[in-house]
Amino acid sequence: MISKTNRTPARQAPPKAHRSVRIVCISDTHELHRDFALPDGDLLIHAGDFTFWNHAAKIQDFNDWLGELPHRHKVVIPGNHDRAFNQNPQSRAMITNAVLLPETYQWLLVPTQENPQAAVTWPAVRLTGTDALAERASKKLKNDESLLVNFAASRLRMEMDRVPLWRGNAVSIRQLVEDFGRYLYLPRLQTPSILVNAIRSGLALLTWERDAFAYAESFDESKSRYRGLQYGGQFGITEDDTGLLVRPEVARQQIDAETAPPVPAGGVPDSPTGSPTEGGRQAGPGPAIPPQQAKPKRYHGTVALDPARVGRDASRIADEVITHLVGLVGSNVRVSLEIDAEITAGVPDNVVRTVTENSRTLKFESNSGFEKE
């Protein structure tokens, strides 16, 4: 308990039972620590917000005050007002009369579901670093691709076929936005605009029939056709768009039916070259068919990543390159990450231990490790 007594002597604590531990817990003193009279005890815990504006003089006075207290053990846990301790190592170094616990929150629970039939799991992900809690959580989610800031059109198409997300032969854009915001088995997108950008990219693809979809304003049930059917262009799609995304094979079927050449009175379609036909076949030799060129069968690529933005760069590479290769039938794609770090001043023992243990957990190859030369 705390009694605010304007710097009066500390209240005498009641007698302590044999072999017991007395814990004194305080918080939110906000630079008024010297105004509180604390009972004696074995352990003092200050659970956050001992500063207001993170002035160095106030932090130093707080540390001096801790040194004047009689408690044998002292623990300080920075709170949300103690921002300097998440940003400035020098501020953390000023606390010498107590044990500082800067990483009170270390675990992030990420609800996960592999498919609509699977159970929801809650894997715990450890957060490291000295940034604010929300920043650490956001960075970790992005690095693990549990929160996407980029989403390729081809990957969207894969998800639409995998689940599937189609409602029959089409799905409304509004419904798709709702699905990605609701269901755990779909990729977690940072904002709906990321999904909208993927839709726009898919509609602009020349390979829309294989990798994406078509767009329609609505469906005419009386005529069983899609109104305003479009593809392969730029569209001003928004998350509130009332239009539909249409399966490409269905769109192609309607396009071919509505753009087929007229059949003359004789019942035989006009020849593409205008030559007379017999029995539906072109009379005389037709145009020469060019020989089919051999298609490439292998791809190899190497790229340097920004060590401070590895998660961002790797995510873009996965969306814009790897996804296209993995989506090909019969493809066998292998991806590896090579790390080469030189530290002229030498690596501290705690970093060696942390990196070695994490590398082993992440199943790095056996030849990975530190070298003295």
Region 195-204: mean pLDDT is: 94
Q: Are 46 and 32 in contact (CB under 8 A)?
A: no
Per DSSP, the three-state class of 46 is strand
Under DSSP, the state recorded for 160 is: H
Per DSSP, the three-state class of 23 is strand
The answer to whether the predicted template modeling score (pTM) of the entire model surpasses 0.85 is: no
Q: Are 230 and 216 in contact (CB under 8 A)?
A: yes
Q: Same structural domain for residues 81 and 168?
A: no
pLDDT at 79 over 60: yes
Rounded to whole angstroms, what are the CA distances from 278 to 100, 275, 285, 297? Answer: 93, 10, 13, 42
20 in any annotated domain? yes
286 in any annotated domain? no
**Res 1: pLDDT:** 41
Beta bridge partners of 121: 112
Q: Are 42 and 71 in contact (CB under 8 A)?
A: yes
Res. 283 pLDDT band, cuts 50 70 90: very low
Segment among 64-73, 126-135, 266-275, 303-312 with least mean pLDDT: 266-275
Cα(16)–Cα(5) distance, integer angstroms: 23
Cα(359)–Cα(369) distance, integer angstroms: 8
Res. 209 pLDDT band, cuts 50 70 90: very high
pLDDT at 226 over 80: yes
Q: Same structural domain for residues 18 and 112?
A: no
Q: What is the mean pLDDT of the chain?
A: 83
Region 71-77: mean pLDDT is: 92
282 in any annotated domain? no
**Res 18: pLDDT:** 56
293 in any annotated domain? no
Q: Same structural domain for residues 160 and 67?
A: no
Res. 6 pLDDT band, cuts 50 70 90: very low
Segment among 28-37, 140-149, 268-277 with least mean pLDDT: 268-277
Q: Same structural domain for residues 111 and 190?
A: no
Sign of CA dihedral 259, 260, 263, 269: positive
What's the total number of domains in the chain?
4
Cα(59)–Cα(341) distance, integer angstroms: 36
Structure-block tokens of residue 181: 């915001």
Q: Same structural domain for residues 193 and 306?
A: yes
119 in any annotated domain? yes
Res. 281 pLDDT band, cuts 50 70 90: very low
Whole domain around residue 366: which residue ranges? Answer: 336-373
**Res 42: pLDDT:** 92
Cα(147)–Cα(159) distance, integer angstroms: 16
The b-or-e profile of 210-245 (16+ CB within 10 A means b, else e) is ebbbbbbeebeeeeeebeebbbeeeeebbbebebbb
Region 89-105: mean pLDDT is: 80
Q: Same structural domain for residues 154 and 245?
A: yes
pLDDT at 261 over 60: yes
Question: Looking at the chain, which runs of residues are DSSP E strands?
Answer: 3-4, 23-26, 36-37, 43-46, 73-76, 99-100, 107-109, 124-126, 170-172, 214-216, 218-220, 225-227, 244-246, 277-278, 281-282
136 in any annotated domain? yes
Selected residue with higher pLDDT from 16 and 324: 324
Q: Same structural domain for residues 132 and 175?
A: no
pLDDT in tens, 285-342: 555 666 667 788 888 888 888 887 777 778 778 878 887 787 676 778 888 888 888 8
Q: Same structural domain for residues 220 and 324?
A: yes
pLDDT in tens, 46-56: 998 898 877 88
Q: Same structural domain for residues 251 and 173?
A: yes
220 in any annotated domain? yes
Q: Same structural domain for residues 94 and 135?
A: no
Q: Same structural domain for residues 308 and 224?
A: yes
Q: Same structural domain for residues 60 and 93?
A: yes
pLDDT at 17 over 80: no
Give one DSSP letter per residue of 100-159, joined into a string: E---S--EEE--B-SSTTSPPB--EEE--SSS-HHHHHHHHHHHTTSSBS---HHHHHHH
pLDDT at 220 over 70: yes
Spatial neighbors of 63 by CB under 8 A, at least 6 apart, are 94, 95, 96, 97, 98
255 in any annotated domain? yes
Rounded to whole angstroms, what are the CA distances from 11 to 14, 65, 223, 228? Answer: 9, 17, 87, 81
Cα(267)–Cα(280) distance, integer angstroms: 9
